Structure 1
């Protein structure tokens, strides 16, 4: 690992390179915050993929890409005299100090739950009109549901035991099935949403990140289906002409392979 001075030197080099690119590169010079936005979202998802794969080398590269975007936005902000990288960092440092009074003040927080409760209360004192104000509107629905539940739990609006949440899951499933049985199409979507929301809440009590859990299942399904495709091709079989039992044979084989 590098010394603190080496780390600072590396960051200074990045700032110098960003200055050069913004001045001399036609593509970099053309970028705006709006044009970078979708690219930033893509970089964060690529970082997420690397983390799921536990690929340290790739995580390092993707973190660099995310850091580049932070420096890029700060450079653009400095050109309009709105803010620069020092403002960004100082603002972050102030927020971290203010929101950790159990470290930098005299507030007690003996566990993670207390820390999160204090965090949400402090944000309300800072001027947030709602605990949910900080949940980005553009978040994917599954992640948004998880963040909503996490935030309201931070101020005490929560179940007490996992079993209570599981009972709620069963209740919502029963209500969904009831609407399906009655063929109430206008209500089925609503009840299905309630089932998903309650499952995401149950995941929180099980200490599982629902987005990560679902993505791991996606990857597992992709691997097994592609194994099925590979085996069918080796035997000159067309998937569309195979029976489910024939396909299931290869599917079961794929389940025995550790990925």
Structure 2
């Protein structure tokens, strides 16, 4: 009987990690050394999705799966857990968090379903915590997430427990207030205070995104891509004139920027 692709992959990883004829690089890796590769592969999956390249998505998902298999193999060698237990854990969690699918629960709205999801996560976190440690609804948000993602998750947690504006208009006012505080800090010349107020402005901007049902990470990535496309349009036109960007006056570059906005919008 031929091995399934999953069994084949697990066997290949075991061979790569084997002290008897394995790969020296794979053998010397541990949980910590694999962190940057795991993060990078997750971002490459996101990139393939955003580019709409489904063939590349299949390959990138494979690379991400490799990281799961790699970590699981290291854990198995240490007698901690194996890939089968990893798969079993997530299967159990999915069933537990979807009682409306695998049980008798009925939710009347998407908001009610979301609250039940957050409550289930809270109960899971509480069951894992040591009795002597203080409990917080913010527990479990990874400290090494990108700042924008972490900010949104923490605000969602706080909001799910009632700490939130009931409507969006006060959030607009708060953005204006924080922007004025950035200006005051800038006028003071205190760089540490400027940084603090910029942070507060970004935080309330994330809050505004939440209220408007916009994912701030995706929104910023899209705006960054839009900025890059417009800037490259300017570069191309300046290069075609035989000049360098530094040779151009700001007014000319600004005019090209507006031209880029129109040209790329048509595309």
- TM-score w.r.t. the length of structure 1 is 0.88
Q: Which runs of 5+ in 2 are unaligned?
A: 130-134
Deviation at 1:210, TM superposition (A): 0.9
* Secondary structure of 1:34 counterpart: coil
Q: Distance in 2 between matches of 1:85 and 1:191?
A: 45
Q: Distance in 2 between matches of 1:252 and 1:173?
A: 26
Q: Distance in 1 between matches of 2:75 and 2:249?
A: 60
Query: Which protein has the bigger helix share?
Result: 1
Cα deviation digits, residues 195-226 of structure 1 (max 9, x gap)? 11111011112121111111111111112212
Aligned Cα RMSD in Å?
2.2
Q: Which residue of 2 aligns with 1:233?
A: 239
Q: Which residue of 2 aligns with 1:198?
A: 204
Which residue, 4, 9, 28 being the options, matches 1:9? Answer: 4
Deviation at 1:186, TM superposition (A): 4.2
Moved more, 66-75 or 229-238: 229-238
Moved more, 160-169 or 65-74: 160-169
Q: Which residue of 2 aligns with 1:173?
A: 179
Q: Which residue of 2 aligns with 1:107?
A: 105
Q: Which residue of 1 aligns with 2:31?
A: 33
Which residue, 141, 144, 166 being the options, matches 1:138? Answer: 144
Higher relative contact order (CA 8 A, sep 6+): 1
Q: Distance in 2 between matches of 1:222 and 1:71?
A: 36
Q: Which runs of 5+ in 1 are unaligned?
A: 1-5
Deviation at 1:121, TM superposition (A): 2.1
Q: Distance in 2 between matches of 1:94 and 1:42?
A: 27
Q: Distance in 2 between matches of 1:106 and 1:156?
A: 27
Q: Which residue of 1 aligns with 2:161?
A: 155
Deviation at 1:68, TM superposition (A): 0.7
Q: Distance in 2 between matches of 1:178 and 1:76?
A: 53
Q: Distance in 2 between matches of 1:214 and 1:144?
A: 14
| Count of residues in Structure 1 that have an aligned counterpart in Structure 2 | 253
Q: Distance in 1 between matches of 2:205 and 2:122?
A: 28
